A and B are shown apart, each in its own frame.
Chain A
Amino acid sequence: MYDSPPFMQPPILPAQGGKNRFLIGLFSSHVLVPVLRWRLKLQVIGGLCSGSASSGGPSGAPSAAQLGTMAARLAVSRWVAARAAARRGPLVSCWRWSSAVADTVYDVVVSGGGLVGAAMACALGYDVHFCDKKILLLEVGPKKVLEKLPETYSNRVSSISPGSATLLSSFGAWDHICNMRYRAFRRMQVWDACSEALIVFDKDNLDDMGYIVENDVIMHALTKQLEAVSDRVTVLYRSKAVGYTWPYSFPMADSSPWVQITLGDGSTLQTKLLIGADGHNSGVRQAAGIQNVSWNYDQSAVVATLHLSEATENNVAWQRFLPSGPIALLPLSDTLSSLVWSTSHEHAAELVSMDEEKFVDAINSAFWSDVNHTDFIDSAGTMLHYAIAFLKPTKVSARQLPPSVARVDAKSRALFPLGLGHAAEYVRPRLALIGDAAHRVHPLAGQGVNMGFGDISSLVHHLSTAAFNGKDLGTDYGLCKQMNAPLLEIMWMTKEHPFPRPSYILKI
């Protein structure tokens, strides 16, 4: 699906007449290309192709022979492409620069208009050193217009850390979110189902530790900000990129140094830097051939919007580790909370299909019941605790119980599978991966989208400095050297916004 597009697959062409080219092209497409599928060899062929093709005519105006050649190439490669559709892996094809193709050269193209992609486009659009640059955002889905905030809360929510909130406020999206709705939480209690183990997080002055915001609200705020900067950032909705062509790593005489993107409607774009923000099944990452370490957890997450039995202050996030997986209750308002319950596929399917009363009972007992405790574990834990307290007295924290759930919003139950993914490289010449395309994590710590926002923060910082120094945005020197150290970036981010320290020693 993300192989190089049909008319970009070149057969080997010597600089002879058109008919010879066609036949040799046919031969090479059917025999040579399948045999020589490895990327290294294809680069050599691509080099030969561009070398020979360029000797065939001036690189200026396309002659009739060249057009004929291109048509022949098109015919041959469409046939080949149908058979090559199942083929995966990196295909480096050469793209002969033709001045007849009057594409705009974009400075940055962000592929994928989700939370992280849209935020990236926004951050670049509002950056002061990108005033002069052309930015494009490609989104497969339609434009989501939210005229009025719905009464019912959406079941997909994210926990936004203070660092992410700072990023969102740097381009004005956070103000829109504040005007819509969000919930700040001040404490987090995480405890075990099989023992008395417990850890509580809060900030020193009981400041806001994080914010629970619906994904739709964030998306709407980002869309509004993108509209406000539409002179610099173009957004193409319902556009799917079907193919990418990468430039050579070494400068070739006649080949374009930019990345070519082919859209579903056949049009092509060129860009100096392609940012892949298209989710954990990233097409950009696959087209670039970046290795991805991934596996599926044997778990699905069940989400729902819950009504509490009584109105409370509701500024605590609760999470309990059950034997089957963690269950979390995130505050949405005084009377509403959001549920995220990661459990096995069978149990998740059961939970989604069971009737409401049984579902509510299941949730309450998951949080309250001590049925998994055993005497052995309890006594062992108590003895260990005494031993440690003898050496160093510790504060005892009482285990608090979350509010009880009365009912669940109809039609708000949904489930989605969970998995892990991590790209071997985040950055390559003229390419960067951010968000889930680079790293996909389990939602139990609520850090997935925050890491994506962290990627944006550090990438925009580097791109902004590079733009102010007049650098070519996608080149090795400008980007790779500084960006292939994600650990350093995370450390830089946490220096600005430290995670809250647990205020109680872990109780065993």
Chain B
Amino acid sequence: MWGSRKLISSGSRFLGVRRSGCRVAQADCPRSTASAVYSENQLSWTLPIKPWIFSEYRIMWFKSCKMTFVCFNRMKSYRYPWTRLYSTSGTTVDSSEVKTFLALAHRWWDEQGVYAPLHSMNDLRVPFIRDNLLKTVANHQPGKPLSGMKILDVGCGGGLLTEPLGRLGASVIGIDPVAENIETAQRHKSFDPVLDKRIEYRACALEEIVEETAETFDAVIASEVVEHVTDLETFIQCCWQVLKPGASLFITTINKTQLSYALGIVFAEQIAGIVPKGTHTWEKFVSPEMLESILESNGLSVQTVAGMFYNPFSRYWHWSENTSLNYAAHAVKSGAQEHQVPAESVLKEETEELQATASTIAGVREEVKK
């Protein structure tokens, strides 16, 4: 039983099975009961029947995804209360968040305006991304340190982080579910002929481009995004799928602590107006421990977690030891040999291990006999 479960989970992890299917297979997850109850209705098309028939299963999975999208649009009215946190809808985009950002779509590039803290955050996150990516390269071109790299900026907004990365030589694709943000970003980069060629913007969600861009990116950046998505697990899985083996995932987000409620929501939004009201919901903040566990369980090994701190008076960000407010994380997708092993050879390895242990036990027994 345990063996088959492991097969199912490893096979499903490789294929990126829907979270509900995966959860059913793993008994250690505490949330499985709630989602299992709900997902039983959908289980008919996410059952992992034969995990080693890959091509067939992949087609089934894609079809099931599309059907679930359609299905969930119809089933919005039947939402159960506990699914607010763990929505099993196929999209990671929250429509209420879309509305919040729509209102401010034209204010991205006003550097003294509402998005000033994000402009200032570039002082931290661009060197963070650049230095970690340069570690993976033997020698780089001076002046264009990131040239030759393909980067995906998820939730790029107005392109605040996309443009500096483009200037450093990378070819960047920026995606955002709010079409107006993409328009603003497009317009802003159109004035610079160099950036125009290096950056491409698309108004879509991450799940929509997973199929066509599987394993093509050297880095995926989700900066100030994971506290706005509906389904973090799916999001991370999609990120995993579009990364090349050995590639990096960069996340910056806000911790879920009392301090982040007091400073991040009460002070920043309501009192000082540093962040527009309603931008953040404390319930959706992600603690570094939870993020690490999700990353590790999805095949991304966490390299760095570093705290960041914003001084609203000097309007500068600083690195800090303390991750209780904002933090940045860098994870690397495990290399080629570990996860692309087909399930049958995993089975073979296990039987070989069993045989090996059996032989050693036999050998020990012989020695004991002697």
Contacts and interface: CB of A to CB of B under 8 A. Distances in A.
A256 B111 contact: no
Contact of A251 (B109, B127, B142, B144): B109
Contact of A97 (B112, B130, B145, B191): B191
B143 A133 contact: yes
Contact of B120 (A97, A133, A250, A477): A477
A476 interface: yes
Contacts of A128: 142-143
Contacts of A114: none
Nearest to B119: A477
B344 to A, nearest CB: 46
Contacts of B143: 128-133, 467
B110 interface: yes
Interface in A171-202: none
Contacts of A257: 191
A470 B165 contact: yes
A258 interface: yes
A476 B191 contact: no
A470 B167 contact: yes
Nearest to B143: A131
A242 interface: no
Interface in B247-296: none
Interface string A464-477: 00011111100111
Interface string B131-164: 0000000000111110000000000000000011
Contacts of A131: 141-144
A78 to B, nearest CB: 28
Interface string A417-460: 00000000000000000000000000000000000000000000
A165 interface: no
A476 B111 contact: yes
A165 B142 CA distance: 26
A97 B192 CA distance: 12
A467 B127 CA distance: 11
B122 A251 contact: no
Contacts of B123: 469
Most chain B CB neighbours (cut-off 10 Å) among A131, A132, A472, A476: A132
Given A130-B143, A131-B144, A132-B143, A470 B163 contact: yes
Main secondary structure on chain B at its contact with chain A?
helix
Nearest to B166: A470
Nearest to B146: A470
A268 to B, nearest CB: 15
Nearest to A258: B191
A253 interface: yes
B203 interface: no
B111 A469 contact: no
Contacts of B13: none
Interface string B193-210: 110000000000000000
B245 to A, nearest CB: 26
B173 to A, nearest CB: 16
A250 to B, nearest CB: 6
Interface in A129-164: 129-133
A84 B236 CA distance: 63
Contact of B188 (A251, A470, A471): A251
A253 B188 CA distance: 8
Contact of A471 (B106, B112, B122, B194): B122
B162 to A, nearest CB: 10
A130 B194 CA distance: 14
Contacts of B106: 253
A326 to B, nearest CB: 44
A74 interface: no
Contacts of A476: 111-112
A128 to B, nearest CB: 5
Interface in B186-245: 187-188, 191-194
A105 B192 contact: yes
A253 B187 contact: yes
A256 B119 CA distance: 20
Contacts of B167: 467, 470-472
A105 B196 CA distance: 12
Given A253-B187, A477-B120, A472 B142 contact: no
Contacts of B307: none
A369 to B, nearest CB: 59
Given A256-B191, A472-B163, A477-B120, A132 B110 contact: no
B126 interface: yes
Contact of B169 (A132, A253, A258, A472): A132
B142 A129 contact: yes
A477 B314 CA distance: 12
B168 A470 contact: yes
A475 B169 contact: no
A30 to B, nearest CB: 33
A429 to B, nearest CB: 9
Interface in A251-271: 251, 253, 256-258
Interface in A70-108: 97, 105
Given A129-B142, A132-B169, A470-B163, A105 B193 contact: yes
Contact of B126 (A129, A258, A469, A475): A469
A9 to B, nearest CB: 22
Contacts of A253: 106, 187
B111 A477 contact: yes
A170 B141 CA distance: 21
Nearest to A131: B143
Interface string A289-312: 000000000000000000000000
Interface string B163-188: 11111110000000000000000011
Contacts of B145: 468
A493 to B, nearest CB: 24
A489 B144 CA distance: 28
Contacts of B109: 251
A470 B120 contact: no
Contact of A469 (B164, B169, B191, B193): B164
Given A97-B191, A257-B191, A470 B126 contact: yes
A105 B190 CA distance: 12
Contacts of A475: 111
A472 B161 CA distance: 12
A356 to B, nearest CB: 56
Contacts of B142: 128-129, 131
B158 to A, nearest CB: 10
A258 B120 CA distance: 21
A472 B167 CA distance: 8
Counting chain B CB atoms within 10 Å of each CB, the highest count among A105, A128, A130, A256 belongs to A105
Interface in A451-508: 467-472, 475-477
Contacts of A133: 143
Nearest to A473: B167
Given A132-B143, A132-B169, A477-B120, A470 B164 contact: yes
A105 B143 CA distance: 17
7 contacts: A97-B191, A131-B141, A131-B142, A251-B109, A258-B191, A469-B126, A470-B130
Closest 5 CB pairs of A and B: A131-B143, A470-B164, A132-B143, A470-B167, A251-B109
Given A131-B142, A471-B167, 18 more contacts: A105-B194, A128-B142, A128-B143, A129-B142, A130-B143, A132-B143, A133-B143, A256-B191, A467-B167, A468-B145, A469-B122, A470-B126, A470-B163, A470-B166, A471-B164, A472-B167, A477-B111, A477-B120
Interface of A: 97, 105, 128-133, 250-251, 253, 256-258, 467-472, 475-477
Interface of B: 106, 109-112, 119-120, 122-123, 126-127, 130, 141-145, 163-169, 187-188, 191-194
